[in-house]
Structure 1
Amino acid sequence: MASVHINRFYPLWEDIAPKLGRPDGVDARIAARWSLVLQSQGIAHTMPFGKGGRRIIVYSWDAEEACRQIRRYLLENPPPLPEVEKVRGDPLAVLMVGLYMAFLLCIHVLSRTFYPDLNLYPAKVESFGRLDSGLLLSGEYWRAFTAVTLHGDAAHIFGNIVIGGVLITALAHRIGAGGALFSSFCCAVAANVLNAYFHGPGFYAVGFSGAVFAATGLLAAHEAFSRSGEHRRQAFVSVAAGLSLLAALGTGGENTDLGGHFLGFMLGMAAGGGLRIFKKISPPGGQATDFVLYLCSLSLPLLAWGRAFMSM
């Protein structure tokens, strides 16, 4: 560093760190780089220690040029991207998500099969399991759960299985298959309740789409909260990607439940942010906890269907 005489009683010198967005000073690593920049331009300076780091002291008549040169350096040499948590493929997670998708397909096939001996027909099963806002608000709470597992036709179920399988598998690689399925399912149930409340009596809906878009929100939030420090702004890229997917897949079709998709996505975002924060506070429970959550994601719809059949 070039030698600078600092006269405390005459304003010949100036600390430019505050002008560069560092009012408390900079650390030694950054100070060394900025010193090289100033030296290359022949700008006399010194970098004494301050309360929060090194101060950047230059002659007052060089202050503007010094700031300009450092800003130019920062523009041409942006800080490196932070190390993002590496996501490793888990074959067990893929298998668990695949089995859950098969579970949904089995429920669809069973709900579309005639059982004359039991007096069960597809229309009757759907009427007792679909989201009927009036009946749900009057106390038939199981409909918020059973509606997630019902689908209108083959295209509906296979679309949700394929797209949902991909998104939930991606989420499962990050938080575990049990955590991914349980959180997505719970967000979809909550979205059904809110959807029924907002629409009032006379609203009907079925499908796993709410869980699919909840998984989209969970993924977006997980990736967004993985960013830190100076790269926090890049978190918006993850959120924007999730919103783009919502717009592309969740707004088309005559019978599309826009409210359910949007609520599922927003609840997924909220849950994903909460899970990410909780993960920093408390270490994850491991495979045992994830397996329990997986069993819960299977048990909740089965218990709800049991309650629905009891009311028939």
Structure 2
Amino acid sequence: MSDFGGNPGGGAWGGGLWGDPWVVVRRSRRRSEAERYALVLAAMGITSRLHRDGEWITLSVAPHHAASAEREIGAYVKENSHQTPAAPTIRPGREALLGVLAYACVLFFLHGAALRDAFGLDWLSAGAAQAGLILDGQLWRTATALGLHGDGTHLLGNLALGGFFGFLLAQLLGGGLAWLAILVSGAVGNLLAAVLRSNEQTSIGASTAVFAALGLLCALSWRHQAPARFRGLRRWLPFAAGAMLLAYLGVGGERTDVLAHVTGFAAGAGGGFLLAQIGPRVPLGSAAQLAYALAAVLLFTLAWLIALAV
């Protein structure tokens, strides 16, 4: 037990157990802080006393407990010294909505172009993510395949999920950076899937990017948790929730490309960890968001120009 009152013999020393003097192991200006240290010691079975010494609150223990008390308090201070990451700034919904509208326009245009062989071109053959061709160097297919869909149901499903996850991510990162991250992570997910497939396998669809967006959201949510409040398995709740969504939305149906969904999620999670690490150094202002958006448009357009020219 801790004696939160009384004078242990005056000053920093006083009568202790078996007549031994009490040893001061910590001085604090705030009584609440000193009481927390006393509770830490009490939890370890170490008796302590608090005493006011001028402007200080001293915490004293018996001499044979001094080393253990110093060690326990030091460990407590170290464990709780990590700063909680600043809460993310939620951006206006209008800004996030612009990216969703652009995403929908791009998917509708490419779906219509592929159905009608617009300009006399075979868009599906030119842009599909065929594993063998990607590994032979046609890396642009990892991006172009994200804009192609087999039918209207496939398209609408990816529009709904992709728009939802993209909207949430844009509120965290800004519209330009969010959609650039989704595009790059989706392309990386298709590349990973190509490495793991047989050369003849082909895939299309924005779902790789959709689950990359989910992975990005999970990683960024993990980053913004308070270390002092969430420990052990609770730290991984965002990824557990993401894995449940992946299992529920991404592994059912005969035509579901499970591998691409998993690799997309993994690529997005990796991208989210990277953004979390470099986040303070990444500009997020309006000019930067415009630059990110232009970079995403240029990368995707360049990929399609190369695909249609080859």
- Do the two structures share a fold, i.e. TM-score over 0.5? yes
Aligned to 2:278: 278
Alpha-carbon offset, residue 287 of structure 1: 1.2
Residue type of the alignment partner of 1:31: A
Aligned to 2:299: 300
Normalised TM-score (structure 1): 0.76
CA 46–183 in structure 1, closer or farther in 2 if over 3 Å, else same: same
1:119, 1:251 → 2: CA distance?
35
1:92, 1:160 → 2: CA distance?
21
CA 35–267 in structure 1, closer or farther in 2 if over 3 Å, else same: same
User: Could you tell me the percent identity over the aligned residues?
Assistant: 30
1:88, 1:248 → 2: CA distance?
29
1:130, 1:107 → 2: CA distance?
12
Aligned to 2:308: 309
Aligned to 1:67: none
Aligned to 2:112: 109
Aligned to 2:240: 240
Matches within 5 A, 1:9-88: 28=30, 29-32=32-35, 45-46=49-50, 56-58=59-61, 84-88=87-91
CA contact (8 A) 2:100 2:163 kept: yes
**2:97 aligned to which of 86, 94, 102:** 94
Gaps in structure 1 of 5+ consecutive residues: 18-23, 64-80
The number of residue pairs the alignment matches comes to: 277
CA 279–201 in structure 1, closer or farther in 2 if over 3 Å, else same: same
CA contact (8 A) 2:96 2:174 kept: yes
CA contact (8 A) 1:45 1:57 kept: yes
Aligned to 2:173: 175
Aligned to 1:202: 200
CA contact (8 A) 1:3 1:44 kept: no
Alpha-carbon offset, residue 48 of structure 1: 8.8
User: Which digits, 9 at most, give the CA deviation of each residue in 1:23-78, with x for residues without a partner?
Assistant: x998843324566999xxxx8613699xxx98753569999xxxxxxxxxxxxxxx
Residue type of the alignment partner of 2:111: H
1:269, 1:55 → 2: CA distance?
47
CA contact (8 A) 2:7 2:51 kept: no
User: Which digits, 9 at most, give the CA deviation of each residue in 1:114-171, with x for residues without a partner?
Assistant: 45xx543xxx321221011111111222211111111111111111111110111100
Alpha-carbon offset, residue 182 of structure 1: 0.6
CA contact (8 A) 1:191 1:264 kept: yes
Alpha-carbon offset, residue 204 of structure 1: 0.9
2:27, 2:146 → 1: CA distance?
55
CA contact (8 A) 2:174 2:284 kept: no
Alpha-carbon offset, residue 6 of structure 1: 4.5
Alpha-carbon offset, residue 200 of structure 1: 3.2
User: 1:46 aligns to what SS in structure 2?
Assistant: strand
Q: Following TM superposition, where does structure 1 have runs of at least 4 consecutive aligned residues deviating by more than 4 angstroms?
A: 5-15, 24-27, 33-38, 53-56, 58-63
Normalised TM-score (structure 2): 0.76
User: 1:192 aligns to what SS in structure 2?
Assistant: helix
CA RMSD of aligned residues (A): 3.7
Alpha-carbon offset, residue 179 of structure 1: 0.7
CA contact (8 A) 1:107 1:150 kept: yes
Aligned to 1:145: 143
Aligned to 1:72: none
Residue type of the alignment partner of 2:290: F
1:195, 1:305 → 2: CA distance?
20
Aligned to 1:2: 6
User: 1:57 aligns to what SS in structure 2?
Assistant: strand
Residue type of the alignment partner of 1:155: T
User: 1:45 aligns to what SS in structure 2?
Assistant: strand
CA contact (8 A) 2:91 2:170 kept: no
1:223, 1:102 → 2: CA distance?
29
Matches within 5 A, 1:200-239: 200-233=198-231, 234-239=234-239
Residue type of the alignment partner of 2:289: D
CA contact (8 A) 2:173 2:284 kept: no
User: 1:190 aligns to what SS in structure 2?
Assistant: helix
CA 25–126 in structure 1, closer or farther in 2 if over 3 Å, else same: farther
User: 1:229 aligns to what SS in structure 2?
Assistant: coil
User: 1:112 aligns to what SS in structure 2?
Assistant: helix
